[in-house]
Structures are given as structure tokens and as C-alpha cells.
Structure 1
Amino acid sequence: MNSSLQGLEANVTQELIAVGAALDAGRVAEAEQQLARVLASHPGHPEVLRMQAGIHDLRGRHQLAIRVMRQALTLRPRDPLYHNTLGALLGNAGEYEAAIDALRTSCALTPGLALAWYNLGVMLTKCVRNDEAAEALRHAVAIEPRHFGARALLADLLRTQGRVDDARTAYRELIELRPLEGMAWWGLADLRTQIFTEADVVQMRAALQHPDATEHDRIAIGFALAKAMDDAGDCAGALAALAQANAIARHRQTWDAQAFSAQVAAVRAAFEPSPGRASAPIGREAIFVVGLPRSGSTLVEQILATHSSVQGAGELPDLPQVLAEESRRRGKPFPQWVADTQADGWARLGQRYLERTARWRQQRPMFVDKLPNNWIYISAICAMLPAAHIVVCRRDPLETCFSCYRQPLDGSNGYARRFEDLASFWHDFDRSVTRAAALHPAQVHEHSYEALIRQPEAAIRDLLNFCGLPFEAACLRFHDNKREVRSPSATQVRQPIRRDTARAQRYGELLDPLRLALKQPCQTS
């Protein structure tokens, strides 16, 4: 018997196995219903607690999930699977460094646990520690050659390096081994240069109906199929595939638009009037690029990272983690402690951020932090780092929201599953950055994607000037930069500026529900 299930009656053991299977498949309601019966009789059993933590996590109750899992770990402190689970939960909560520590403990306890090495690779990737991530993923594949998730993520890393042909080959090899492997199908779609064949479409449709396909597979394959339909000019078919994929994703991870709006409003209110800021002009070396996903932020980073003085760091988790550290230290969540923070406190937080990101200034004096949702924290950035530069990326809201809807965004992007939630999120963004730009005009620059497309050189000169950088002609040839890029736009930013990226007009009145949600006029027939 699995040692985790010791001390349980046979019927309870079978119920927990069923709960675990439901959780692995993302059927959270089913898992919750099954576990309720076991909780009544065995509330303190460590495996029951572990399953309960998994349910809390899928319901978006991340901190509660972590507390329950730590309770389970006190009962099984040497269990590598428990440390692995804690690492995964910490990662889902955005606590990546703590997740890496937990997963390294799991790997040390049982070096042959491929799952722990894979999860470690995932978390290292999220921290943009790609070399370490690749090493961990290779460990997973060496232990378990048919670990398809690890192989898919290694293929993703090839794509970040611009090795498109190698990535395509790796994805195709994965599909040969497991035609249901969703992330391989989406990896091909995300290369942007991939044109799916009729045979591919038939294979994807069959995979979506296969009983062994997980919900995770169906989500990724659904988005890939939508891309194939879009390429073929079948807009209605593409939207149908997207609706199905997003419905599954929303079932796995709910989004509370009202609660998010309240949170964003609380952050705005906490900084009006301004509680003060660090007295020293620190942070000039930091350039924050913020905005909604798919708004051109990767392109802006690529342009800046082509400058001889700027290192492109990617989507760093450090700013929200510094704020989370302070929240734990004070015993109250952000932004409740903002009003009590003096200039020296903000300076301490700013220095902490600069310490955490020091490795990105080893080769060049300035760096780009491109975590999109940092727009929520613009006023906090201004307080911590009064000399930092904040570039807000704006793109036509309809194009931005529709592009988000077409991507299998994960993590904190649950708003991208429904038009109503997307519109609500965009309006929260718009209100916040408009106010922040008015309050901090010297530190906030609103960059227009459409203006960049129309007049590239003028927009690039404005961008460099705002960041205090002299113009370099190389920035106009950003597509020649061979740096690693980890984002859905990785392939696009290695090409000259394109003027054919707009999609909404092609879909016409099919997108009227999104237009209505955004309070835009409907498309006339």
C-alpha cells in the first residue's frame, strides 16, 4: 500500500485515490464532494489534508492551501511527495523562491522523483533562471523518458532561444509519442510560423474526444485548433474552439471580477494622498514595462534590450514578492500597511528589490522588468524607487482583450476566459494607469502600440528618451537581437514590425459581445 495511505480503512483508501484522480484531471467539484465524506471521519490524516490543500488551491484559496499543506508536512516531514506538493502550491501562490526551496528538498530526499524535478524546472522557469530550469528538466527526462510535460517545457526553452526549427522538431516528436499531448500542440501553434495541415486538424479533433485526454490537454489542444481555424479563415470555427477551451479552463480556475476590482481600488485609495517615498533617488537602473498581456510589452522589452545599456530580464516575480515579504513581516496584507510606511521603509523595500534583481545588472547598467501585472503597483514602485522608469503599454482594447482570449494564459490570468471578465479587467487597468500617470508624470510613460506600428522610429526615440537613454540605431533593428525571449510573442519580436497583427476586424459582428462588454459600438453588418 502507498505509505501515504497508511492507517486508513480500505474503503477510505479507495475514496482518496478517487479524489486524487479527480484533482489530477481538474475535476475540482467532484474531488470536493468525494473528500467531504472522508473529512468527516479522518480530518487530521496527512493525506486527507494534502487532498484538501489541492482543492483549496484549485478554488483559488492559495494561502489556505499552503497552511493546510504545512500542517500535513508536520505529520510527514520526510515525505518527498509532500514537499513536492508544497512547492507546487507555493508556486501557484506566486511564492517562487519558497517553492524552489521546497522542491529542492523533495529532490534531495528522493533524487529519483521525476515529478519533483519537473516542478522544480517549472518554478525556475518562472524565475527566468532558464539554465537551471533546463538542468532540472533534463533530470526529470533522464529518470522518466516519457515525462511529456518536461519534454514540452524543454522544447519551449528552445523556442525562447530562437531555435524555432529545433523546437518544432521537438514538439512533433512529442506528438508522435503521445498524440494527446496538449502542450506540444500549443507549442507548435505558438511558434506562429506553423501552418497546420488538414491531417493535423483531424488529429487534434480526435484528441479532444479521446477519453485519456486530460482537461489540461483539452485546453491546450483547443487553443491550437482555434489557431488552425483562424489560419484557414474559419472565424466562427475558431471562436467555437476558443469558447470550449476557455470554458474548461474557467471550470478549473474561477475568477472573481468583483473581488479583483475591489482589490485594485483599495490599492489606488491607499496611495491617495501619497504616503511618501524614499528620499534618495534610487532605482534609475530599473525599467518596468507593464500592461495587459498581448499589448506589445514583449516588443517594447526587445527594443529596450537591444540598447547597449539595457538587459532584458523578462517577467520577474521580484516586485510582488518584495511586497508579499513585507506583508508577512507586518502581519497584514498589502495595501493595508501603506499608510504606516515612512520614507525609510520605502527605501528599504526599494533596496530589497534592487538586491533581488542584482544579477540582471552584471553585464549592463540597466534592466527591464516586464511582469505585466505590475501596473497594479505603479504607485508602490514610485514610492520604493523614485528614479525608476515605468512604461505602460497600451493597445486597442478590443484587440488586446481578444488576443488574451486566444491564449492559454495561466497563473493569475483567470480573467481571460470570459468576455465580461476581460472587459472588467481592462477597465480596472485603464482607471489605475490613467490615475497613476496623472500622479507620477515624470515616472510613467504611456506607450501606444498603434503609434509604434505607424511611426516606429519616432515611437522608439520617445521611449528611449523617457528612459534617459541616448538613441541607438540598433534599436530600430530589434529583430536582429538573439536574446532569449519567454513570452507568446517570442517569435514575433524576432521579425521586423508587422502591420497585420490585428484580428478583430476579420471577426466582425462575431465579437459584438466583447464590444458590448468593453462599452464599444457593435459592428454593423
Structure 2
Amino acid sequence: MSSSHAEHPTPNGSEPRLDGLPPPAVLQLQAAARAIRDGAEPAARQALAGVLALVPEHPEALRLYGILHTRAQRHDEARVCLQRALAQWPDYALAHSDLAGVQHARGDMEAAFACWRRACALAPAAPMPWFNLGRNLQLHGDTTAAIEALQQAHMLAPDFLPALILLGDALVHAGRFDEADARYRAALALYPACGDAWRGLANMKTRPLSDADREQLSVAWRQPAITPTDRIAMGFALGKVCEDQGRYGEAFDALNRANSELRELRPWQAAAFHAHADALLVASRQLPSAIDLKLGHEVIFIVGLPRSGSTLFEQILAAHSHVEGASELSELEQVLGEESRRRQQSLLQWIGAADAADWQRFGQRYLTLTARWRRHKPRHTDKLPSNWLLTGVLGAMLPGARIIDARRDALEAGWSCYKQQFYRLPHFACTLTDIAAYIRDYERVMGVWQSAEPQRIRIQHYEALLAAPEDEIRALLAFCALPFEPSCLDYHRASRSVRTASAAQVRQPLRRDTARAGHYGALLDPLRFGLGLPKFG
């Protein structure tokens, strides 16, 4: 059996991954692949068992078994199958790439990236290994390396839209806006109804779209054959360009339609979330005192509502010589998820049973997972807005961490959330009434914790920063036990990757003309009512 199996067919047209299989086994392998695609696990297992009965340890059958286990989140079993495949074909690029995904899911990032890079080395002319490497480098925060890998994928497959879009996104995060614009527009040249391309252009919020863009977008948005995901993304982009041009009625109509379609995919349950937030608050107030009160002093969490200035506050802190801006990290969720899987219970089910030693272990695990962000600077930010819900948990797990609660005028913040497409569903921002309910829950929970522990939580008001930037920045740094550095006043000059929808805005000096809700008058009265504000006018 050959030991070199790249992704492309051999010159005579045969498929290398089928080497050594008799025709009946080939048919069964193809049936297994279809069953995996369709989510039919019993049929896939039966077909793969048939292949392995005919050709024991065949690498492609083992690889498909690995994919089957991965889909079911059985990552240990998937790893074993893929390692068995690679024992037969050590140079099988696809198997290395699949194994990388499994290692990533298991939290072994070093092994994952080694596998992705090995796949690229084995199949340098194949675009998918480069795309997978670039996509995951970008998710991991290594934007420069991601750009290089995605450029390679794009060069090898110029018409592959996902590579073009992700390359545009990475260029935005690096502050290379002209290049990003060119990539998004190249995608639109291939497919004018590419929602992700319009989303990328609209999210460069300091670069307004033109009248021609609005007309092209309006035409594409109304085409009956486009996919719901493209239509939703284009609706948000159309809302953005109409607002920029003062066409507020049209903007509201486009955003209302986009949010309605987005909500249909997975509706937000405000009452269930309210009950969950209250239950977590009650449980968190009964957690044991921390063993090491300094554990986590390296970390500055930034929480709050999306679109409330959290990226701006992170950019200010990241301009400091002691702080690395890590953006929106998943490690806190990963640590708690690992414990939930170990106990086979949800967080609310096991939170009361964890003792002080458990919480210290969780904190140390988080610090281990995030150590890469402290290789060059001693401290890092973790800017995931929804972590406000875990403020009490953080007190037991990382009591030495500081928490910045990013606050903005609730009406402006709520309306800004309504204008922004969020991809993690269900999401609270698809109706004005759900937004108001979410804001009330957030403010109530954070009010409890801030009153109880002001030494570890600072409410940082966006409007206060606009009114007195130097005073607020000095106070922010002092709260974080950081010496004042003038570079924090010139935060927009900081050279770093910014991986949020505010990537363009935080590279500009402070603007004081960011209020937009007043333009919509009574259209926003449902939000005002939910927030306890008087009706418009």
C-alpha cells in the first residue's frame, strides 16, 4: 500500500484514498460517506464495518470512522481511529487535517496546529489544508499567520468564496482595510448575493458604502432565489448603508425584516433566560471563599452588552506595555464545559457541589489554557461580553482578576445590538422587547455583584470616556493596578489584531457623534417601554 496520499486524484484518474479496495468495498465506503453527510449514524457504521471486514484497517474507512465519531463529539474515539489510519498511511494529508480538528476539540492546540501544518506540507497544492489552517489560526488570534495561509488558499482556488471572505475578515482584523475591501468586492464579482461579503463591507463601519453599493445591494436582496443566510446578512448591510445615508425608515424596515428572519431560525426565550440568570445568581452567591485570593491577577475581564464600548476599552488597555489584548476568548466556557462533561451535569446542577479546591483547579486550568496570551506581556484581557453572567463564578475561580463592566446608554446600546447580526443563535438581539428584557437581567445581576465587590468590578461608562478621556483612562488603569502610560491615550495607534465588529472604529480617535437612536422616533418605543423610558416626544 502506498505511503503517500495527498488530496488530489492520481494522473490516471484513480482516487488514491480508495487504494486497495475491491469494488464492493468502494460502494460501501461511498454509502458510508453519504450516511455521515446525512447524519445517519447506524447506516454509516454498518457500511464502514462492511468495508473493514473486507479490508481490515483500511485508512480511508478508519478516517471516515474518525469523522463519524467527531460529529458525535466522541473525540477520544475519533483520535484513535485517525491515528490508526495514519499508522497505515503516514503521509495522508486529509487524515492529518481531520486529526487536527479532533485535537482542537480536545483542547490540545499545539498538536492541532502541528497536524494542520503537516497537512499543508504534504499537500501544498491543495487549497483546503491551507484554508483549514488559516481559519483556525484566525480563530486562535494569530491574524498575521492566518492571512498568509488564507492567501495561499485563495491563490490555489481563486473562486473559493469561503477563503476570499475569511481573508477579507483577517485583513480587517489586522487594520488593512483597503485590501479587505478588495477581497470582499472580488467575492461579490463572483456572486453578487454573497451575504458574507456585504456583511464584511458593512462592518467596516468607518467606511460608508456608496449609493451604487446601496442600489446593488437592494437589487440582490430582493432576488427570490438567494439563501436565507445571504438574505439576512444583506438585510443588516442594507440597514447600515441606509442609516449612513439618513434613510432611517428604509433602514428600520431592512433591519426589522433581517432580524425577523434571523429569529425564525432559533427564537430567543426571554423568560427561560431570566430564570437561568436568577438561578445562577443565587447559586453563585453561595460559593466557597477562594483559597488563593490572588489567583487570576493576570486577567482583566471585560463584560457587558455587545456594542457598548467593550472593544474600545480593550484597545485602551492593550495599548499598555503590560497588557495583551486577547479579544473574545472561549477558554472560560471550555473549562466549565469540561467539568460539566466530567460530572455529566449542567453547570447549575453541579455548581453547589464544587468546593474551594475545585474552583482553584478550574482557575488554574483557565490560566494554563490562556498562557499563550502572556508570552510577551504579563497580563491579558478576556473580552467576551456575555461573561457578565459568570461574574459570581469568577469570584470563586479567579478571584484576583479584575472585571470591567462596559456600560453605554441603554437605548443606544440596545438599538446598536438590533443593527448588528450575531451568529451564535438563539440571540437576544432579534426583537426590541427581548433586548430590553436582556438589558434588565444584565443590569440587575451586575448591580448585585458591583455592590457586593466593588474592589474587583468597575463600571466603565462609555459616555464618561467621551466626556473626559484622560481622567477616565487614568482611573481605568488605576483600577487594574496598571501604571499610567501615555500610549493608552493614543490607543487608536496600537498595532494589534482586533477580531470584533468594532475593528475599524477603534483604530480611529474618539468620536462624540455616535448616538443614532433619536433618528428613529417612535419606532423604538417598544425598546423604550421595556427599559422603563418615556415614549418618544
Mapped contact 1:289–1:393 kept (Cα < 8 A): yes
CA drift at 1:479: 1.4
Distance 1:223 1:68 in 2: 33
Change (3 A) 1:176 1:370: same
**Secondary structure of 1:336's match?**
helix
Q: Distance in 1 between matches of 2:432 and 2:107?
A: 30
Name the residue aligned to 1:406. 419
Task: Spell out, residue by residue over 1:42-84, the C-alpha distance to the aligned partner (whole angstroms, 9 max, x if none).
Answer: 77223999xxxxxxxxxxxxxx99538879979x977999999
Shift of 1:229: 0.7
Please give the alpha-carbon distance, in whole angstroms, between the structure 2 residues aligned to 1:212 and 1:47: 36
Which stretch of the first structure deviates more once superposed, 450-459 or 337-346?
337-346
**Whole-Å Cα distance in 2 between the matches of residues 503 and 83 of structure 1?**
49
Match of 1:133 among 146, 152, 164: 146
Residue correspondence of structure 1 range 139-288 to structure 2 within 5 A: 139-288=152-301
Q: Is the 8 A contact 2:165 2:187 kept in 1?
A: yes
CA displacement at 1:144 relative to structure 2:
2.8
Q: Residues 397-446 of structure 1, C-alpha deviation per residue, up to 9 Å, x if partnerless? A: 11111111111111256211111222222122112111111222211111
Aligned to 2:61: none
* Corresponding residue for residue 45 of structure 1: 43
Residue from 502, 506, 509 that aligns with 2:515: 502
Structure 1: stretches of 5+ with no match in the other structure: 21-34, 50-63
Do residues 488 (structure 1) and 486 (structure 2) align? no
Q: Which residue in the other structure is 2:361 paired with?
A: 348
**Counterpart for residue 72 of structure 2:** 67
Alpha-carbon separation, structure 2, partners of 1:90 and 1:522? 53
Whole-angstrom CA distance in 1 between matches of 2:256 and 2:315: 32
The answer for the alignment partner of 2:52 in structure 1 is: none
CA spacing shift, 1:469–1:103, aligned 2, 3 Å:
closer
Alignment CA distance shift 1:195-1:132 (3 Å): closer
Residue from 507, 526, 531 that aligns with 1:513: 526
Distance 1:90 1:201 in 2: 43
What CA distance in whole angstroms lies between the structure 1 residues aligned with 2:529 and 2:187?
41
2:461 maps to 1:463: no
Contact 1:88 1:119 in 2 (8 A): no
Shift of 1:447: 0.8
Provide the rounded CA distance (Å) in 2 between the counterparts of 1:191 and 1:321.
30
Distance 1:213 1:281 in 2: 54
Secondary structure, aligned partner of 2:381: strand
CA contact (8 A) 1:457 1:476 kept: yes
Identity of aligned residues (%): 40
Q: Output aligned runs, 1:385-464, within 5 Å.
A: 385-412=398-425, 414-464=427-477
| Separation (CA, whole Å) in 2 of partners of 1:100 and 1:171 | 32
9 and 321 in structure 1: CA distance in 2 versus 1, 3 angstrom threshold: closer
Unaligned runs of 5+ in 2: 1-17, 19-24, 48-68, 86-91
Structural mapping, 1:251-400, within 5 Å: 251-400=264-413
Listed as ranges, the matches of 1:112-131 within 5 Å are 118=131, 121-131=134-144
Q: In the alignment, residue 187 of structure 1 is paired with which amino acid? A: G
Q: Is the 8 A contact 1:80 1:106 kept in 2?
A: no
Contact 1:103 1:119 in 2 (8 A): no
The answer as to whether partners of 2:94 and 2:119 remain within 8 angstroms in 1 is no
Separation of aligned partners in 2, 1:172 and 1:463: 40
Classify 1:406/1:466 alpha carbon distance in 2 versus 1 (closer, same or farther; 3 Å): same
Greater C-alpha radius of gyration: 2
Please, what TM-score do these two structures have when normalized by structure 1? 0.81
| Aligned-residue offset at 1:329 | 2.2
- The alpha carbon displacement at 1:300 in A equals 0.3
Deviation at residue 188 of structure 1 after TM alignment: 1.5
Quick check: 1:73–1:82 contact (8 Å CA) kept in 2?
A: no
The amino acid that maps onto 1:227 is: K
